[in-house]
Amino acid sequence: MPPPPQPRRLSANTVLLAALAAVVVAMAALVVFTLAHRDEAHPAPPHPATNPPASTATP
């Protein structure tokens, strides 16, 4: 009678690859979330070159 099959152990490379994949997915989610909510928290002030103050504008 053959012995029961042993469960296969995960190699260190597999564990590291899974951890790396989890980090990549988390970073991608963070980038998407940040880009989606970028304009809500801190609207950018007008740029001085495209919208000069009235005191320095020449007619």
pTM: 0.53
Task: Return the structure tokens found at 24.
Answer: 């990549």
Q: What is the pLDDT of residues 7-56, one digit of tens each?
A: 888 899 999 999 999 999 999 999 999 998 877 656 667 776 766 666 65
Of the chain, the end-to-end C-alpha distance in Å amounts to 99
Q: How far apart are CA 30 and CA 15, in angstroms?
A: 23
Cα→Cα distances 36→23, 25, 31, 33, Å:
20, 16, 8, 5
pLDDT for residue 30: 97
